[in-house]
Chains A and B, each alone.
Chain A
Amino acid sequence: MAKYLFLKHYRGAPSPVNDVPMAQWKPDEVEAHIRYMNDFAARLESSGEFIDAQALSPDGVWVHYDGEGRPPVTDGPFAETKDLIAGWMVIDVDSYERAIELAGELSAAPGAGGEPIHEWLEVRPFLAAPPTVTQ
């Protein structure tokens, strides 16, 4: 019973084996990829392990506080930053091993030529509530 976050990156992850930009895939390869992702989420739902999945727009900005009475300062977009998050999936599983196994399956989503992308996914454990028994 532990929650994990799978992070997909637009940029910042190491290059995958099957590294072809999605716009250059054949239409049926795109379809196959989307179907794989949907099926994967549906499978996790039926195994009782799915929590959430969201995709993010790449168009973000930096914001910071600029002092009393002033509007926040914005800067961006992120053209120069190394790391860009594309989206995430949150799962609730019995073990770390299970989280790694599922991330491996998600990374096998098909890309160009119908071959697995081998995309690098970042797996991060949630900080949970403290246990009752500690001594």
Chain B
Amino acid sequence: MNDVELRELVPRVLSVLVCRGADFATAEDAVQEALIRALSAWGDELPADPAGWLITVAWRAFVDMTRSDAARRDRELRVDTEPPAGAIPSADDTLRLYFLCAHPDMSPTSAVALTLRAVGGLTTRQIARAYLVPEPTMAQRISRAKRMVSRAGVDRPGDVRTVMRVLYLVFNEGYSGDVDLAAEAIRLTRQLAALVDNPEVHGLLALMLLHHARRRSRNQSDGSIVPLADQDRSQWDTGLIAEGIDIAQAALARDQLGEYQAQAAIAALHADAPHVEETDWRQIVEWYDELLRFADTPIVRLNRAVAVGEAAGAPTGLAALAEVDDDVPRREAVAAYLHEKNGDLELAARLYANAARNAPNLAERDHQTRQAARLNQHLQHHR
């Protein structure tokens, strides 16, 4: 059993403890303790029932923690060593765990950290490394989030919308450190999709798979960005693309459109084109119009302007861009691209330079700087 298969068992084990009446915060610590023991105890031989083993060990750890806690507080408290009978968690209990960890009172940062630990089974150290935060800071973040769940969670957990937002945030963080957050987000979204019958969850899963399929071609080995049009499509993972398209189509067939399904449809249209010239930009624009009904954000309007520029030509794209607020991040980059396409190279070069200066991350700054340098060199040669 590898690390991921072991962590698959975490939500169920934690649900059992909570069902048996353990408080959430201590139960979660106990499950982590059981995971650590499993890693050393299962070296050569798996127990016949790994989940049962984890439940037994986690329950004992919970009892020990509660006792030493009670002793510390010098208070009489009796906890049964033997777990109460019955209490078998259902799929709904596991789903509830997702909801608790995405509690609406929690900040996104806290919900992300708690979900990765309590549902994903990652250690605090792994989560801290993934988010480039010191381990004590991450430990505090998680224990605050757990206290909030213990305090307020039980009567008013989050819902599937808040859970999807948390998983989307994890996915979008991409890859940093020794944990592949994108893969972890996909794993947790798969689990969620098996627990709840909601086409938007399937839309989110499809969206993740379709983006994940392109990851190898998205960057060069030095981390520099390769734009969609220039990506080596032979590197795209056709298996993931096929799966993503299937899931997206099945969700869309249920006729309950939402923002994740619309985004998945756009990603599917990109993934489906063997060459960039074969991209069905007209249909992509239509999906952006659908997406606007659910998420009328400046970023969606900005991306729509790019698609309009491809579908109907640069002047029409620039007209669509004119409706996007000036202060939207990456607007100058899009303006530069459309003006270059429109043949206004001097203006495009200036806009690329501005886009570089205002880029929200280093890879994009480098990318826009290269674009500006490329155009400026071209202009010098043709003066």
Contact = CB atoms under 8 A, between A and B. Distances in A.
Interface of A: 1, 3, 45-52, 92-94, 127-133, 135
B131 A1 contact: yes
25 contacts: A1-B109, A45-B140, A46-B144, A47-B144, A48-B113, A48-B140, A48-B141, A51-B137, A92-B109, A94-B107, A94-B109, A128-B361, A129-B174, A129-B361, A129-B363, A130-B225, A130-B364, A131-B174, A132-B171, A132-B172, A132-B174, A133-B171, A133-B211, A135-B267, A135-B270
A52 B136 CA distance: 12
A5 to B, nearest CB: 14
B176 A48 contact: no
B140 A47 contact: yes
Given A48-B137, A92-B137, A129-B173, A135 B365 contact: no
A129 to B, nearest CB: 6
B126 interface: no
Given A133-B207, A135-B270, A128 B360 contact: yes
B31 to A, nearest CB: 21
Nearest to A135: B303
B367 to A, nearest CB: 9
Contacts of B306: 135
Contacts of B174: 129-132
Contacts of B364: 130
Given A47-B140, A51-B134, A92-B133, A127 B108 contact: no
B172 to A, nearest CB: 5
Interface string B126-160: 00000111101110111010000000000000000
Nearest to A44: B137
A132 to B, nearest CB: 5
A129 B108 CA distance: 18
Given A135-B270, A135-B306, 20 more contacts: A45-B136, A46-B144, A47-B141, A48-B109, A48-B110, A48-B142, A127-B359, A128-B360, A128-B361, A129-B174, A129-B176, A129-B361, A130-B363, A131-B174, A132-B171, A132-B174, A133-B171, A133-B211, A135-B266, A135-B267
B259 to A, nearest CB: 12
A45 B137 CA distance: 5
Interface residues of B, number: 42
Contacts of A128: 360-361
A90 to B, nearest CB: 10
A129 B174 CA distance: 8
Cβ-closest 10 pairs across A and B: A48-B141, A48-B140, A132-B174, A94-B107, A127-B362, A130-B363, A131-B172, A130-B361, A127-B361, A132-B172
Contacts of B136: 45
B137 A1 contact: no
Contacts of B110: 48
Contacts of A129: 173-174, 176, 361, 363
A86 to B, nearest CB: 22
Interface string B261-273: 0010011001000
Interface in B355-379: 359-365
Interface string B299-313: 000010010000000
A71 to B, nearest CB: 31
Contacts of A47: 140-141, 144
B228 interface: yes
Contact of A127 (B134, B138, B360): B360
A135 B138 CA distance: 31
A86 B44 CA distance: 55
A128 B137 CA distance: 19
A93 to B, nearest CB: 8
A49 B363 CA distance: 25
A48 B169 contact: no
Contacts of B207: 133
A1 B131 CA distance: 9
B182 interface: yes
Contacts of B363: 129-130
B237 to A, nearest CB: 14
A131 B133 CA distance: 18
A129 B172 CA distance: 10
B228 A135 contact: yes
A32 B172 CA distance: 43
B112 interface: yes
A128 B172 CA distance: 12
Interface in B238-267: 263, 266-267
Contacts of B365: 127
Contacts of B303: 135
